Structure 1
């Protein structure tokens, strides 16, 4: 068992200082760098983290989303709560910073950052040059500079298509939003749409007329695109449709209903996220369950790992997801 005396010898600071720090003595006057050096030394030596009662690190959470986007998307609300929960367990003080305030407002004494939302390559490069360790949640324009945590939406997309094909569906559609690139200020293909196009093209079944995408991942987008699909294709609708998110899917259900398209009889649907509302719409959505709590935990764990054990390479974690089967699509194997 590692002792405070051993930590003192290794770090170069007195046992008394280390003891007061670990007990959370707020009257202790030491610099943030000294505090970080002592704690990092202790953890590297294998000291029990639970015995350190003070905050280990101050972490800037770059929440690059508007309040309306957060309120509209339950994913980000839950992710924020998860980061707070696991950050506290890891001894992190999280300081949330909005896009309006920018990276210039990051406190000088932070040990690391977590980026949530569309951060630019230029912003990340500035943080790298300052020597700040960080994790990007979602699309990372600098994967060789910082760690990444994301959902494996490409694999979910391929799995959805394979499930449809196993049921004998060959006319497969897609409804989704666009990825807004903050560096170019232009809309680009979302990863789900890319995977959809690639996988169906490899099967020789890609049909452009069944793909409807635009704008943000909102219910309004879903309503508009579902109506556009019906107005455009009329009686030649796809037999099955993969929808990029539950939020869009809920809107699409309303749009199809308004147009007199009855689901799942006329079209099977699979979506992504497994929000609470997916259970209560008509029909209830079959959707891939993204474990937001595990995503928050993985993000905190990756950052903690970097701070305690600095490394020259980056890591990427892609979280898989299981399909929660409900009435919008029931695979044959689940119907018995």
Structure 2
């Protein structure tokens, strides 16, 4: 067990200074550089971070979504709250920077950042000059600049198709949204749609007529896409749909219910995220649970790791998921 005496010796400061700092003594007068040196020394020696009661670092969370986008997707609301929670548990002072501020203004006192949303390559290059320590969630066009944490949606997509195949379904459809490329300012295929096409083709069940994917990940978009596919396909509906998010799935269920297409009797649905609303729609959604808390915790841990143990290479962490079985699909 690492002692305060050992930390004092290795950092070059008195044991009394180390003790007062770790207790969060507000009357202690030391420079920020001294504070960081002592804390970094302690953490690098394996000292329990939870025993340090003073703020370790100040970090920024760049929430690069519009307020409307955040409100329309429960997933991002949960993510923001989880990031705040784990930053506080790690004794990190947090500053939230929203997209409405147009330009990314990071104070000099910030030691690192967590980025949520779509960033241009130019923005990330500028960020690297201002703040070399950073973790991007889900989307990272410059993985050589910053660490990445994201759910393994490619694996989720393959698992969903396998569930349908095991039940004997050959007519499998996809409903999803688009990825908006901020560099090109145009929509592109989302990674789940790409993975769906690749794996469905490999399994011999790809039918392009059963793929409906465009626009934002919203309830209304799911509703409109589903009305479009019902009108276009008529009686030739798939046996099952993999839907890229719960938000889109809620809109899809509304459209199917309006057209008297019974779920799960006529066709079955698997979606992604396991947001709170997925329990209460009719029928309740079978969905892959993305552990938002674990994404936030991993991002904060990776950022602390960068600050304490500087490195030249970046890391990408893919997080697994679990399927939550409800009534929209029964294995």
CA offsets 1:186-210 (integer angstroms, 9 cap, x no match):
1111111000000011122211111
Question: 1:241 touches 1:269 (CA, 8 Å); kept in 2?
Answer: yes
- Deviation at 1:102? 4.8
1:209 is matched with which residue?
209
CA offsets 1:231-287 (integer angstroms, 9 cap, x no match):
001111111111000010010011112222222121111100111221221111111
Instruction: Give the distance between the partners of 1:281 and 1:4, measured in 2 at CA.
Output: 54
Matched, 1:298 2:298: yes
Taking the TM superposition and a 5 Å limit, the aligned residue runs for 1:283-322 are 283-322=283-322
Secondary structure of 1:100's aligned partner: helix
Taking the TM superposition and a 5 Å limit, the aligned residue runs for 1:249-268 are 249-268=249-268
Matched, 1:94 2:94: yes
Secondary structure of 1:175's aligned partner: strand
Residues 1:306 and 1:223: Cα distance change in structure 2 (over 3 Å): same
Question: 1:65 touches 1:117 (CA, 8 Å); kept in 2?
Answer: yes
Question: 2:242 touches 2:271 (CA, 8 Å); kept in 1?
Answer: yes
- Deviation at 1:131? 4.6
Matched, 1:10 2:10: yes
Question: 2:268 touches 2:329 (CA, 8 Å); kept in 1?
Answer: yes
1:234 is matched with which residue?
234
Report the more deviating stretch, 228-237 or 30-39. 30-39
Tell me the TM-score normalised to structure 1 length: 0.94
- Deviation at 1:68? 2.0
1:323 is matched with which residue?
323
Instruction: Give the distance between the partners of 1:52 and 1:262, measured in 2 at CA.
Output: 56
Matched, 1:218 2:229: no
Report the more deviating stretch, 114-123 or 30-39. 30-39
Instruction: Give the distance between the partners of 1:193 and 1:97, measured in 2 at CA.
Output: 31
Taking the TM superposition and a 5 Å limit, the aligned residue runs for 1:74-223 are 74-102=74-102, 104-223=104-223
- Deviation at 1:153? 0.8
Instruction: Give the distance between the partners of 1:10 and 1:134, measured in 2 at CA.
Output: 28
Instruction: Give the distance between the partners of 1:94 and 1:48, measured in 2 at CA.
Output: 21
The aligned length equals 331
Secondary structure of 1:97's aligned partner: strand
1:271 is matched with which residue?
271
- Deviation at 1:312? 1.9
- Deviation at 1:56? 0.2
Instruction: Give the distance between the partners of 2:304 and 2:325, measured in 1 at CA.
Output: 36
Instruction: Give the distance between the partners of 2:37 and 2:110, measured in 1 at CA.
Output: 13
Report the more deviating stretch, 302-311 or 43-52. 43-52
Question: 1:32 touches 1:109 (CA, 8 Å); kept in 2?
Answer: no
2:68 is matched with which residue?
68
- Deviation at 1:134? 0.9
Question: 2:106 touches 2:130 (CA, 8 Å); kept in 1?
Answer: no
Secondary structure of 2:148's aligned partner: strand
Instruction: Give the distance between the partners of 1:2 and 1:277, measured in 2 at CA.
Output: 46
Secondary structure of 1:105's aligned partner: coil
Instruction: Give the distance between the partners of 2:124 and 2:222, measured in 1 at CA.
Output: 32
Question: 2:112 touches 2:131 (CA, 8 Å); kept in 1?
Answer: no
Instruction: Give the distance between the partners of 1:131 and 1:246, measured in 2 at CA.
Output: 35
Instruction: Give the distance between the partners of 2:85 and 2:104, measured in 1 at CA.
Output: 26
Question: 2:79 touches 2:292 (CA, 8 Å); kept in 1?
Answer: yes
